[in-house]
Structure formats: structure tokens, C-alpha cells
Structure 1
Amino acid sequence: MAEFGDLLSALGEFGRFQKLLMLLLSLPLLLNPFQMIAQVFMVVEVPHHCDTSWIRTVGPNLTEEEQLNLTLPRAVDGEFEQCSMYSPVDWDLDSIMAYGLNDTQKCSSGWVYPSEQPPSLLTEFDLVCDRAVLNDLSQSIYMAGLLKGAMIFGILSDRIGRRPVLLICILIQSVFGLGIAFVPHFYVYMAFRSVVAAAVSGIMITVVSLVTEWVGVSYRPKAVLIAHTAFAIGQMMVAGLSYGIRNWRLLEIAGSAPMFALFFYIWVLPESARWLVTKGRIEEAKKVLQKAAATNKRSLPPGLLEQLKPEKQTKSGSFLDLFRKDLRKVTLIMSCVWFADSIVYYGLSLSVTDFGLDIYLTQLAFGAVEFPARISCIFLLEWFGRKKVQGILLLLAGLICLILIGIPEDQPVAITVLAIIGKFTATATFSTSYVYAAELFPTIVRQTGVGLCSMMARVAGILAPLIIPLDQYHRAIPMAIFGSIPVVVALSCILLPETKGVDLADDTGEDQPPDEEQKTGEFF
């Protein structure tokens, strides 16, 4: 919208107001990583064996070693089996010691864990043996919550505004995040996590639109990606917090309670003036713009404000608009790109316990590498444009996963170094997708479009935890999947238009950049 672009130039495209807004929107992104990856540290594998206290009724004076020798079979490596036991019998102790027990069965009375082990999800809810699948299932249910949030809050944000949706999501994440620390059953835990995930998803996609719509053309990548560096810092904080607090309930409280501090957003968070204009709420938009100009120590020409109006009557956007002629190609390709981004990003993130080194240090490295990955995108996007960076980074992320297949398991350092490089490229391509999608979709369906892309990313996130256990059939299967999908999808980026230096479109009739900027058939 020409009038709105003129107003942004007059009030300052990246002044004090935009910087303060970026800082405000960085705070929830700083806290979101806890909800996304903390469970990895709550289900750390510990030694365990079946509870065979039944034998104490006939041998109350047995030592622990004698009890285990009589009631637990041994594996080929000489260690006690963790998931099986000898079937209980009605014999006396002398008969048991004389003849021994032969029939085995699965654990029937629970498991025993080291007494010094702090309470964790694994020990409190017995996420071992046949129940270990519940851990992967809970991660997939969390990803399903992210999908639900993208679907609901993406559309809702285009209908009722960015500000109310962000406030609602902060409230939901605060209440249910803290509630997780007090759940009595693992199924309640999974349900609460799903609700929290929906709020996390709503925050992430709303932040992108709100930042994008308040800054000038040349500052869009910088604003979005600097805000997203808070997510990288949050990941490093999760590693330190998890290392210092081993009790999972206390860890959940420490990671969730700070979100309540963001309730002051009710008084300070502005609505998107661009969105207000597209909805015909011109007077509200003028007030917000005047406040922004005052914060930037600028004055808006009265005549310019009076001219503020949509260039033409703009109808409300709908989900179906994403699949009309002008937007169909963009919608389909960007949905696939986000799916590929997510499958490789979460594939590497959730495999942190499988790389052979200390998980806390590995996670710290994963978080640390995200910071330069996001910052470097600011320069890459300005130097090379969105299309080239998106395609090349996605291709590299996939290739690194494929290379990991050929590294022997007895080389944990080499595997971890490659995984960190893969996390760098996966983070960079995901960050690029947030900027690119926000620029490709017009204002009236921007949140709906980004929400749809986020939904596809969450589908991949649901699948990622279910793909990881396939390594029991062959260790190469998970990384082969995580690597091949990005490689294939990267090639489709050739068909996308370039958006570098192009003003945001506001309705579906303006979704494509000008002809001289499109060059949809050129990649290099």
C-alpha cells in the first residue's frame, strides 16, 4: 500500500519504536525453547530393572545382590535384563535356590531405579521398556499441538488482530505451562503439553507478522531474525537450567513461571497499523501511527495522515484465497519448504541423546550455533536474496544429514560436529522461511498463509519423533529420511518469486512482486 509505505518512511522505518517492539516480541521467544525441548532432559536414560520384591515374602533376609541373582535373567553382556524377570512361583526359598527359576516374563510390578536419582519423567511415570514409546508419542502430541495452534491462531490473527492473539497465547502458555508441573498422570501431562504447544505456535507466527508489518522494506530480515536470536539464547538457557535442576517438576516451574511476567503486554503492546488499515479501522491506525512517530521523535504530516486509506476496498481474506490462481504456487511450495525445514530441524534436535557425547554440552552447542545461524541470515538475505538462500541452505542441511549416515558409530566427536553444522544450516533455512513467507503472503491472509506453512512444519514435527525409533531396524534410516526430503524440496525453490526490496502486498491482487523482480525461472 503506497500510503502506508509513505507513512512508515515518515515515522521512521526502524526507529526507537520498532526496536522497542522487537525487544518486547523477543521475550516470549526467549521462553519458548523450554517448552519445545526440555522434555529431552526430563527423560534421561538411567539403569533400571524389574521390581522383584515378591521374593521377599519367602526370603526376607536376602541381600539385594542375592535377590537380583535369583529373580532376574542376564543379557549376553552379563548385565541384568532391564525389561524381563523370572516368573514368580509359590516355592519356598530353599527350592528356589536349589533348582533356580527358568520361565521369564515382562515386568509385572513396575521397575526399580537408583535411589539417588532425582524424580524425572522416566522414573515417575515408568517410561521404560514397552512404555518407552510414550516418550516419543508425547513429543508427537506436542507437535500436533503446534499444528493445532498454527491452524487456529493463524486464521484468528487475520480476523481479530495480532495483538489480542498474542495476549491470548501468552495467557494460555503461562497457565498450562505451570500446570504441567502438578499433573498426576502422564496422559494429563501430554494433554497439557498439547495446549501449551498450541500457544507456543501462536506466539511464533504472530511475532513474525507483527514485526514484519511495522518495519520498512530493507529492515524486514534484520527485525525478524534479531527477534529470533532470542530463541537461540533460550536454547542455551534450557541446557544450563536442565543441568542445574534435575527434578523435573521444579524444572517445569522454573521454565514456565517467568511467562507470567509478560502480562504487562496488555498495556504496552501495539496492534499492527497495517492490519488495522486493511480492516478499515483507519482512526485506530492513525492513533497507533502517531504514537509510533512520537516514540521515534518524528512528526507525521497531517495531510499524509488524512490520506491514509486502503487503495481500494479490501475484502477479508480466507483460507481458500491461498489456493487461488495468484497464490497457489507460492502456497504449495512454501508449505513443502516448511515441512522440509521442520523434518531436518527437529530430526537433529530430538536426536541429541544419540550422538554419543554429553547431552547438556551438545544442547548448549546446538543453542550456541543457532545464534550465528540466525544473525548470518540477515546478511545472506540482503546479499543474495530470499530464493537463493532458501534453496541452498535447505539443500546443505539435507546433504549433511545424508553424510552423517556414513560416519561410524564409534566416532561420536565427528558425528556431533557434523550434527552441529547440520543444526546451523537447518536453523538458517528455517529462519529464512519465516522472513520469506511473511513477504510472499499479502496482509489480509499473511497470518493464515504463515499459519498453513507452520501447520505443515508441525506435521513434520509430529513425524520426526516417530522416525527416530526406526534406527532399531537400521541406524541409517532416520537420517536418510531427514536428509532426502530437504534435498528434494530445495529444488522446488527455483519456482518461487524473489521478494528482496519489494514492499509488502496487502490484498490477494497484489501478492506477486513486480515483473522485474520475479524472475521465477532463475535461481542463479
Structure 2
Amino acid sequence: MAVVNKRIFDTDNALKGSFNGLFGKWQILTYASFVFAYAIIVGWIDRLHDYTLLEPSLIDCKSDNVTLVNISTIQRLSGRKISYYNESNFSVELPITYNLTYGETVISEFQVLCDLAAFVKVPRFSGYLGFILGSILLGYASDRGGRKMIILACIWTTGIMSIFQLVGHDFISYLFFQFFIGLFIGGIQASFLPAIIEMFPINFRSFYGVFFHTIVCIFQLILPLLAKSFKSWKLLQIFVTAPILLTAILQWFVYESIFWYLAHKEYDKAIRVLTKLAKRNGILFESKFKQAKDFLHAKHSKATQVDILPLLRLQDLDVLGKKYPQVDMAELQKQKSNSSKLRRFLNSLKGASYRSTNTIYRPFDFIYSPTLFVYVLILLGLWFTNGVTDSIESVKKTDNLDIYSHNSLSILTLMIASISAVGCALLKFGRRWMIFLAYLVIEVCLLGFLIASLNENKDQETLVTLNVLYYLCKYSVQFGYIFLMLITAELFPTSLRCTGLGLCFALKMIGSYIASPYLLNYTSTKAQMVYCLLTLFFGAMTLFLPETKTFPLPRSILQIEAMPTTIGKKLRSHKVKFACERRQTLENRKQYTPVADANRLVTNVSVNNSTHLTDAGNMSLNQNSNYSKHLINESNDEPHGVYDTVNSVHDIEQDDHNKYYYNHNESKKSSQLDQNTFMDRKLGKIVEVPSKNITRNNSSSDLQEQSKV
């Protein structure tokens, strides 16, 4: 592993350098535009089915004593009306009478009534299925292609699909477009919060990552009033879809996330974005972020740079071998002769290209990090139970409240929970304890529902108690969901943030699908007991997650593994022990070498009183040879496994998270430390040298000399 003096790209200071005071005017304008578009999609369009799929309360099919025409179910759903044979043996449309309490809904217009009543659930299922697929696939696309492009495309495509749904003439076309609406809403949900929290420094991240839920609740509270005013589902859908036209301004207000640029090593583009933001706020960015010029010209240095990832994936080896003869590619060439796209794909599934120090990961690389894998399992369980408890309806709607009033009261409860979460964010409370307390209250409510279900005699006092527990459960579910969404986005590296959040949203929707009274409705006594146990278990497991409120957003899995937790400490101790044993075995066999192959290129950069032009600009590297030798010996322990590193000081990015994780004393020797302290000290010294760039400045002779050190 290369150990060099550090060129710092402090993302927190860089973000603060784009505005003065507590907030930047342009950032607030961008945030407001973003939240407005999100509230239209999630607060209105996503909740339309609560009102457009209402069934008439009184239905008279009048199919007795008549002979119905033999029409298939597909024909009925495609728009053909049910009919019967009259006395003259002619086909006549069968009159179906129903009341218009809720106006003209999708169910009444397409006559999904009588014998077709079972298909009322299908639109919800179609939307849920689209949401699950969209949150995973489009979340991954957001990590690969950028936040801005995916979010804007999903917002505008959702509006287009909503319009197409209006012009459909049958129930099947309605289902078709409902699937795509759910698909793109899932993409928005997976990408929105990462884009928001990557706009602001640490001190403001909690507030802005929580406040937008209150705006969404305001839009949701307006929706019942609109649904009650418009007696046609088409008019209602047109009204809530039309404001999407205003979101066209996002094309000019929104910039790509600088974290996404940094993960892809596009330092110059990140600096340009921050410079534009600072200029619009009336600030000279270079005066507040001194390294701006260095990083601005990082991609235009005199050193020739190439992407090393194709080399590691066995692509273009012939070209790279001719251009960079100092890199030994014999083993890679041998592998390429027996390689194929399928084999490379299978190798990627095995984690062949995974390194904890990478900044770009494949979708499921987290399974190769034991620490992050445990965190993800806990998060998935929390999201699943949140979906279950959010959809369970243990209280029947009373006769005194119609559907509009009942939904308004529920949404008002959610708004109170959102405002409470904003207050906790301002007071800088931690995420873990807020989630734990919320799940503890949910557990009490579920136990109350379970006890009430065993009591057959439900008097007035029992009903009042159930109503109190119901709204308390709604409050706690929303409160826990807000902080759960925040900690999830903060526990994934940049190139997996949207993918991980999308996967969690998919689990939430599966839980909702299981417990929703409009879908599977698994709410029996046994099912409720299972929900109680899951909520208790995963709520307690929340305390094993790291507290992320004071940490910068991670850009690599190594930074997540370094977060202080009981789980992380034990797994790191096991890694160090295994690495030490392996090194001792290799030394005993006299087979250990610092440089093993092109995939594990461990070198030391030793430059005495000289200046190197790097990705971060002109950087003076004054290193003592003894100190360098000490560090390279320490790096050979490799407690984190094999790293992708290169023999170059180019493209060096300081792991600015280390200052929040560990403070080490360089005067102490590693032999005097125990395994855990040695690990902590090592993490403080290692500079991430991503496996992205390689230069031809180092000759093969230099490489051999470095390998002998």
C-alpha cells in the first residue's frame, strides 16, 4: 500500500466555502425546488390510489334470472361491458347501479365490480411491484450515472405516465401505466435523500435531511380536500399532475452531487460546481477553499493518466502493456486468454474486484465486508418491520368519520411526528436512540393490539384505547422512518448510497404488501405475534449500528468499517489477528514479498525535497527515508486484505474522515501496541490511493528499487 504525504480534499470545508453564514441562498433555492417536486410526486401522485380506487358503497348487479353473455375476464377488463340475452335473444348491456358517494372513481368507470371485485387490489399490486423494481434498478443507475440525471428523468417521466394513464380506455391500460408510475417513484425515493444530504455540510445535514418530510405531509394533508372537491378521478389526477411542469426549473437550479464527482475522481468538475454555487452566493470560492486551484487542474496535469480498472478487469491489456511496460501483466495476460464476459461477471459476483479502499463498487459488494454486511442486515430488518407496522390497520374506521376525515387525521399525526423529528434534528440528537425509542413505542402498541384482538367483548373504553394506540403507532412509525431513512443514507458509501437505500425501500414495500388490508392482509393473531417479535429484535439491534451524526458521508467501505461500534471492533480485531497470523506464516516460509502481482502493487513513495505534479496539483513531498521504511513495513501487514493501489502519487485523495475516527501517536512503535490499537493507528496513517490511475513516470528500475525497501 502506498503511503505518502497527504493532499486533503475536505468535503465539509469545501461545502462551507460556497456560502457565508448559516446557509447559502442558492442552496436554499435549490433545496426548495427539489422538495417541491418531491412533494408533488410522493405527497400527491403516490397517494392518489387512496381515493381513485375507492369502491362504491352500494352496488346492485341485477344479474338474477338472466342469462349472461359468455365474456372472458380479459375482455371485461379490456373495456367490454357485461351483457345478457333478453327475451328476443339479443345481447343487451346489463345495468349495474351504484352510488356516487366518492364520485366517479377508477373502479366505477371501468366497472371493476360484482364478479370482478377481486381485481380491485391489482392496481396497488402493480404499483408496489413497479416501486420495488424501480427503487433497486434506478437506485443503482443513480449511483452509476449521477443523481441529477436520474431524479429529473424520474420526475418528468412520472408526470408523463400519469397523463397517459388518463387517456387509457380500459382497466388493463390503467394497470400498465400504474406499474411505470410506481417504477419511477421508486427511483425518486432511492435517489432523493442522498442528493439532499450531499448538498450540505455535517452541521446542516440532519436538519435538511429531515425537514422535507414536513412539506410532504402538508401536501398529503391537502390531498383529501382536493379528492372531496373533485368528484372525478381524472380531474383530480390532472390537478395534481399539472404542477410537475413547474419542475422544469430544476434543470437550471440543480447541480450534480460533488460526492458523486469525488467518488469517480472528477475533482475538477466538483470544484467547478462549488465555484458556480459560491459565485451565485456572491463569494469567491478560491478565497475560502485554498486548494481549489490544485484540484481544479487535477485532470489536466502533465502526467499521463489512464483508468486502471480496465486493466484489473482484463480489458485492453495489449494497449496498456505497450504503453506502460513497467507494469507486469504476464499473469493478467494469462488470465485473459481464458476469460470471457460471463466469466468476468461471475468473478465480480465472487468479489474478485472488491477492495474496501475502492470508491466505486458493484451493487452487492457490501456482502464482502463483514462489518457493512451486518449493518445492512439490521437495516433491512428495520425497514421491513417499518413497512409492516405502517400498513397494519388494527382500528376500523368509525361511522362518525368518512374516508377523507380519517385520512386527514392520520396525516395530521404524521405531520406532528415530522415536526418532532425536525426538533430532534435541531437539538442534534443521535439517530440510533431515536430509532430505538420509536420501535420501543411501536412494540407497546402492537402488544396492545394483540391483547385487544384476544378480547371478544370490545366496549367503548376498549375502542378508545385502540384508537389512541393506533395513532400513537402511526406517530412512532413516521418518527422512526425519518431517522431510519437518514441513517441508512449515511451508512453506505457514495457509489452504493442510492442502491442501498433503494434496497431498503424495496423491503419496506414488501412489508407493506404483506400487512396492508388492501393486499395480502396478514394480520391474524399469529402474524401479529411475529410482527411483535421482529419489531422487538430489530429495534434492539439498532443500538449496534454506528452513530453517524458527526461523521462525514463515507466514500469507501473502509471508512464505514472504521466507525466505532462493538460489531466493528470485534470484526476488526478478527481481521488483524488473521492478517498477523498470515504474515507470520508467510515469513516463516520465506515466501512473503511486498509486490506480488499487478493486482496487488504495494510500493513506497520516497521523494526527498522534490516537487511532484499530482492530481491535486503541485505538492511537495518531504519524506524521511527511515520513516518511509517504517510505514511500508507496517503497510505490509494488510489487515484489510489485498488493496488496489498503484505506484504513483497521482490521483491522491486524503481520507479526511480519519480525523473524525482516530488520533494516533506516530512516535509509538507498532510492536508496543496490541492488535486493536495497532489497527486504529494503521487506519489513521493510511492514505487512500484509489485503483484508478497509473502513470508512466516511474520506471521499472524505480519499481524494483521500491519493492526492495
Give the TM-score, by structure 1 length. Answer: 0.80
Residue number in structure 2 paired with 1:22: 31
Asked whether the 8 Å contact 1:440–1:512 carries over to 2, the reply is no
Moved more, 335-344 or 207-216: 335-344
Residue number in structure 2 paired with 1:319: 363
Q: Which of 148, 156, 171 matches 2:133?
A: 148
For 1:433, the aligned partner's letter is: L
Residue number in structure 1 paired with 2:292: 305
Deviation (angstroms), 1:19: 1.8
Kindly indicate which of the two structures has a greater share of residues assigned to helix.
Answer: 1
Residue number in structure 2 paired with 1:182: 167
Deviation (angstroms), 1:34: 2.2
For 1:25, the aligned partner's letter is: F
Asked whether the 8 Å contact 1:11–1:293 carries over to 2, the reply is yes
Residue number in structure 1 paired with 2:436: 391
Change (3 A) 1:166 1:116: closer
Asked whether the 8 Å contact 1:497–1:513 carries over to 2, the reply is no
Q: For the residues of structure 1 that align with 2:222 and 2:102, how far apart are their CA atoms?
A: 23
Change (3 A) 1:435 1:315: closer
Change (3 A) 1:190 1:55: closer
Q: Matched residue of 1:181: which SS?
A: helix
Residue number in structure 2 paired with 1:206: 191
Asked whether the 8 Å contact 1:234–1:367 carries over to 2, the reply is no
Corresponding position: 1:40 with 2:27: no
Q: Matched residue of 2:174: which SS?
A: helix
User: After superposition, what is the alpha-carbon deviation per residue over 1:392-436, rounded to whole angstroms, capped at 9, x for unaligned?
Assistant: 212322432442344538666654443222211111111111110
Change (3 A) 1:478 1:470: farther
Deviation (angstroms), 1:380: 2.9
Q: Which of 60, 67, 71 matches 1:49?
A: 60
Change (3 A) 1:354 1:36: farther
User: After superposition, what is the alpha-carbon deviation per residue over 1:159-184, rounded to whole angstroms, capped at 9, x for unaligned?
Assistant: 11000001110121110112222222
Q: For the residues of structure 2 that align with 1:216 and 1:409, how far apart are their CA atoms?
A: 53
Change (3 A) 1:214 1:117: closer
* 1:394-473 alignment runs, 5 A limit: 394-407=439-452, 408=458, 414-465=465-516, 470=521
Change (3 A) 1:137 1:378: same
User: After superposition, what is the alpha-carbon deviation per residue over 1:286-345, rounded to whole angstroms, capped at 9, x for unaligned?
Assistant: 1210122223333323632134479x9854221122212241111111111111112222
Asked whether the 8 Å contact 2:56–2:101 carries over to 1, the reply is no
Change (3 A) 1:173 1:307: same
Residue number in structure 2 paired with 1:366: 410
Residue number in structure 2 paired with 1:500: 549
Change (3 A) 1:307 1:115: closer
Asked whether the 8 Å contact 1:154–1:206 carries over to 2, the reply is yes
Residue number in structure 2 paired with 1:487: 536
Q: Matched residue of 1:270: which SS?
A: coil
Asked whether the 8 Å contact 2:359–2:493 carries over to 1, the reply is no
Moved more, 263-272 or 426-435: 263-272
For 2:266, the aligned partner's letter is: R
Q: Matched residue of 1:319: which SS?
A: coil
Q: For the residues of structure 2 that align with 1:417 and 1:358, how far apart are their CA atoms?
A: 18
Deviation (angstroms), 1:246: 2.1
Q: For the residues of structure 1 that align with 2:227 and 2:569, how far apart are their CA atoms?
A: 46
Q: Matched residue of 1:145: which SS?
A: helix
Moved more, 356-365 or 127-136: 127-136
Q: For the residues of structure 1 that align with 2:395 and 2:132, how far apart are their CA atoms?
A: 23
Q: For the residues of structure 2 that align with 1:112 and 1:120, how far apart are their CA atoms?
A: 14
User: After superposition, what is the alpha-carbon deviation per residue over 1:128-152, rounded to whole angstroms, capped at 9, x for unaligned?
Assistant: 4553332223212211111111111
Asked whether the 8 Å contact 1:208–1:438 carries over to 2, the reply is yes
Deviation (angstroms), 1:7: 0.9
Corresponding position: 1:121 with 2:106: yes
For 2:367, the aligned partner's letter is: F
Q: Matched residue of 2:10: which SS?
A: helix
Q: CA RMSD in A?
A: 3.3
Q: Which of 355, 364, 386 matches 1:341?
A: 386
Change (3 A) 1:470 1:198: closer
Q: Matched residue of 1:298: which SS?
A: coil
Deviation (angstroms), 1:250: 1.4
Number of residue equivalences = 470
Asked whether the 8 Å contact 1:352–1:359 carries over to 2, the reply is no
Asked whether the 8 Å contact 1:373–1:428 carries over to 2, the reply is yes
Change (3 A) 1:512 1:214: farther
Asked whether the 8 Å contact 1:211–1:224 carries over to 2, the reply is yes
Residue number in structure 1 paired with 2:421: 377
Change (3 A) 1:313 1:510: closer
Asked whether the 8 Å contact 1:150–1:455 carries over to 2, the reply is yes
* 1:95-134 alignment runs, 5 A limit: 109=94, 111-114=96-99, 118-134=103-119
Corresponding position: 1:219 with 2:207: no
Residue number in structure 2 paired with 1:158: 143
Corresponding position: 1:268 with 2:256: no
User: After superposition, what is the alpha-carbon deviation per residue over 1:212-236, rounded to whole angstroms, capped at 9, x for unaligned?
Assistant: 1111112112101112222111210
For 1:47, the aligned partner's letter is: L
Q: Matched residue of 1:511: which SS?
A: helix
Give the TM-score, by structure 2 length. Answer: 0.61
5+ residue gaps, structure 1, are 57-86, 91-107
Residue number in structure 2 paired with 1:97: none
Asked whether the 8 Å contact 2:544–2:565 carries over to 1, the reply is no
Asked whether the 8 Å contact 1:180–1:252 carries over to 2, the reply is no
For 2:380, the aligned partner's letter is: S
Residue number in structure 1 paired with 2:11: 4
Q: For the residues of structure 2 that align with 1:518 and 1:501, how far apart are their CA atoms?
A: 19
- Indicate the structure (1 or 2) with the bigger Cα radius of gyration: 2
Q: For the residues of structure 2 that align with 1:414 and 1:249, how far apart are their CA atoms?
A: 39
Aligned-pair identity (%): 20
Change (3 A) 1:470 1:445: closer
Q: For the residues of structure 2 that align with 1:399 and 1:131, how far apart are their CA atoms?
A: 39
For 1:209, the aligned partner's letter is: P
For 1:38, the aligned partner's letter is: L
For 2:377, the aligned partner's letter is: L
Q: Matched residue of 1:452: which SS?
A: helix
Moved more, 442-451 or 294-303: 294-303
